[in-house]
Amino acid sequence: MMGVPFTHLHVHTQYSLLDGASKPEELLRRAMELGMDSIAITDHGNMYGAVDLYQTAQKLSKEAEKQGKPGIRVIIGCEVYLTPGSRFDRIDKQPRYHLILLAENNEGYRNLSHLVSLGYIDGFYRKPRIDKDILRQYHEGIICLTACVQGEIPQAILSGNEERARAAVREYLDIFDKEHLFLEMQNHNLPEEARVNRGLHKLAAEFGLKLVVTNDLHYVRREDASAQDVLLCIQTNKTVTDPDRMKFNNDWYYCKSYEEMQELFPDDEEALRNTHAIAERCHVDFAFGKLLLPEFPIPEKYRGDADACVRDICTAEIPHRYGADLAALTDPAERQALQDKVEQRLGYELGIIRTMGYAAYFLIVWDFIRYCRSHKDGSGRPDPIPVGPGRGSAAGSIVAYLLHITNIDPLKYDLLFERFLNPERVSMPDIDTDFCYKRRGEVLDYVIRKYGPDHVSLIVTFGTLQARAAVRDAGRALGLPLAEVDRVAKAVPRTLGITLKDALASSRELQTLYETDEGVHHLIDIAKSVEGLPRNTGTHAAGVVIAPKPLIDLVPLQLDEGVQGEGISQDRMITTQYDKNQVEELGLLKMDFLGLRTLTVMADAVRFIKESTGETVDLDNIPLEDKAVSDMLCAGDTQGVFQLESAGMTRLVVRLAP
């Protein structure tokens, strides 16, 4: 079946935070229902949703292929904010023009990533802004549309200044060429749009440029307009009854069919078809699963052989880790059996690590943990940064133990290496490391110094509208009394990750309110329509990315100014615009640097004991069989005991009677 010759090229998804209401899978399914074989993503100023939409399109295309139906492709783009001056300017009331940029190929994706990143890193002033200097520098492989009525050329037309409009066209043509610059027309029943479209037709004829038609898509279906209206109210802290609030003029901003677009532009069939012609030119391929480890400086004698380096370090550490155990065995056969067991386990693990190509990963972790354990203060005295003994499946690795990445002997506790690395399941090793909360920043600062500030970043997170929050935010937007909204929100069960649909099925109180109270029914329906949408961005509490090249060449970035005061010498840190799962799927190395208050408390306790009694306590070698400790746990006295102080864990410990 032949698809329709139209592609939506101006599309805001849920990643246009509190503005777009289009959930990726719903949007793509709707476009496929309408016979479209492609759709763009052009969120405001960011690329948060590029990988999400791309992967969702891949999934839906595979499903469609099994059914003998056509799939769908995603065109990666962004609606950037363009300042007429310098992006470094901080001038109030300076215009911010809109501009649609679409990646034509992988070079275009890299350039778009640069532009979007620099909009945040250099140009952020209320919004991320680029200027024409960097547009000239990073324009290759990008197709430019002149955007909605907020674009520079439309604004010149609306001001009645035809020469200014011509000058703007000339400037864009100086950056792009006629094959990469398109004049964009829209029709949402706004009188300004009719004026702009007439002006664009004249400019197209004068400069020999092609026209395109777009719909400023902000939600999937027409009936979703109310959800998007509520999002705008949440964003601006207004209510739907406020006559002066920011709102759209009608409900035309949905995923329209080709036929609906033809009705709006009956005389512009070529401009309609140009959208599909552009889509046919745009092909960006993400290289998922290709490992991108940073360069680790291996001593010259190894000639770049990371496996040999790891093997030698581990072999040299066997006497330190197992010397006492071997010496304690008086029977030569038992001593030899332990020696053989250590060497066999080490050889087995090294073989898997070599096969999977992860030796450099172990060296990277070994290096920053060695830095922590050997850290000295300004006067050269030992000042180690407290590191946890080992978290998760990495404690099952003798290689990690011999490298002092963990302090847990996997042989003593009969731990499985395959829980950590399994040759039959290709996945990145994941060594989560706990650091003293107060000094986590020093570790991060060391990694930044070693690999370079442009190679290291934090990772974005998205705060979403969960069930209770969706009810409360929707209630405020609808202008409902706080007490009424609170009553409905509290009727939602406190179950982690519960949806409003599940809450209605499991809470008799909520179900009764929904069925008997028309106002509550409307509130919950609205809350359901915005539930799960991203509300804001944050920074992952532990995640750190270390890359082999400047991250700006690999993923879009933004700034996190909130890291100041954590012991980091950088005045600001960059953050990826893709979440932790996406950066890992793109092959980037993600480390979890966990700042643990318990380690800080333990380090302080050891210091206080030393200062008050002169006794040095070695936490790694205290006896694990202590009757006083067992009696304390059996009595349920777990307050302040890491991971045992919750009510559920306390009850379990008492029942176990350790």
Backbone angles phi, psi at 510, to 5 degrees: -65, -40
The pLDDT of residue 429 is 82
The pLDDT of residue 619 is 84
The pLDDT of residue 451 is 95
The pLDDT of residue 354 is 95
Which tokens hold the place of 347?
């050889």
The pLDDT of residue 569 is 52
Percent of the chain with pLDDT over 90: 78
Q: What is the mean pLDDT of the chain?
A: 93
The pLDDT of residue 331 is 92
Q: Which residue has the higher pLDDT, 2 or 205?
A: 205
Residues in the chain: 658
DSSP string, 227-274: HHHHHHHHHHT--TT-TTS---SSS--S---HHHHHHH-TT-HHHHHH
**What is the pTM assigned to this prediction?**
0.90
> Residue 428: pLDDT band by 50, 70, 90 thresholds?
confident
Backbone angles phi, psi at 308, to 5 degrees: -65, -35
**Over residues 449-456, mean pLDDT:** 94
**Is residue 25 helix, strand or coil?**
helix
Query: Is residue 565 scored above 60 in pLDDT?
Result: no
Q: Which residues have a Cβ under 8 Å from the Cβ of 222 and sit 6 or more positions away?
A: 251, 252, 254
The pLDDT of residue 1 is 45
Model confidence over 362-392: pLDDT tens digits?
999 999 999 999 998 888 888 889 998 888 8
CA angle, residues 429, 432, 435, in degrees to nearest 5? 150
**Is residue 573 helix, strand or coil?**
strand
Task: Return the amino acid letter for 487.
Answer: R
Model confidence over 473-508: pLDDT tens digits?
999 999 999 999 999 999 999 988 899 999 999 989
**Over residues 157-182, mean pLDDT:** 97
The pLDDT of residue 561 is 64
The CB density around residue 225, as the number of other CB atoms within 10 Å, is 18
> Residue 570: pLDDT band by 50, 70, 90 thresholds?
low
The pLDDT of residue 586 is 95
- The domains located in the chain, with CATH, are 24-220+255-272 (3.20.20.140), 465-531 (1.10.10.1600), 623-658 (no CATH)
The CA distance from 498 to 85, in Å, is 48
Radius of gyration of the chain (CA): 30
> Residue 472: pLDDT band by 50, 70, 90 thresholds?
very high
| Least confident stretch, 27-36, 229-238, 617-626 | 617-626
Model confidence over 96-154: pLDDT tens digits?
999 999 999 999 999 999 999 999 999 999 999 999 999 999 999 999 999 999 999 99
Q: Which residue has the higher pLDDT, 281 or 440?
A: 281
**Is residue 366 helix, strand or coil?**
helix
Which tokens hold the place of 638?
């777990």
The CA distance from 376 to 246, in Å, is 56
**Is residue 575 helix, strand or coil?**
strand
Backbone angles phi, psi at 312, to 5 degrees: -65, -40
> Residue 2: pLDDT band by 50, 70, 90 thresholds?
low
**Over residues 351-356, mean pLDDT:** 94
CB 445 within 8 A of CB 456: no
Which tokens hold the place of 247?
């709102």
Query: Is residue 567 scored above 60 in pLDDT?
Result: no
| Least confident stretch, 46-55, 136-145, 220-229, 425-434 | 425-434
CA angle, residues 131, 132, 133, in degrees to nearest 5? 95
The owner of tokens 């059914």 is 67
Please tell me which of 244-248, 342-346, 510-514 the model is most confident about, judged by mean pLDDT: 342-346
**Over residues 452-481, mean pLDDT:** 94
The pLDDT of residue 115 is 98
The owner of tokens 């002006």 is 199
The CA distance from 240 to 250, in Å, is 14
**Over residues 342-355, mean pLDDT:** 96
The CA distance from 143 to 278, in Å, is 8
> Residue 623: pLDDT band by 50, 70, 90 thresholds?
confident
Backbone angles phi, psi at 184, to 5 degrees: -100, 125
**Is residue 432 helix, strand or coil?**
strand
DSSP string, 82-122: E-SS-TT---TT---EEEEEEE-SHHHHHHHHHHHHHHHHT
**Over residues 613-627, mean pLDDT:** 86
Closest to 453 (Cα-Cα) out of 545, 566, 588: 545
The owner of tokens 């901003």 is 253
The pLDDT of residue 564 is 43
The pLDDT of residue 403 is 97
The CB density around residue 483, as the number of other CB atoms within 10 Å, is 7
Task: Return the amino acid letter for 295.
Answer: E
The pLDDT of residue 93 is 80
Backbone angles phi, psi at 439, to 5 degrees: -120, 10
Axis-axis angle for helices 627-634, 647-656 (nearest 10)? 120
**Over residues 206-228, mean pLDDT:** 97
| Least confident stretch, 242-251, 270-279, 418-427 | 418-427
Closest to 16 (Cα-Cα) out of 148, 135, 111, 168: 148
Query: Is residue 566 scored above 60 in pLDDT?
Result: no
**Over residues 220-242, mean pLDDT:** 94
The CA distance from 281 to 278, in Å, is 5
CA angle, residues 394, 400, 405, in degrees to nearest 5? 95
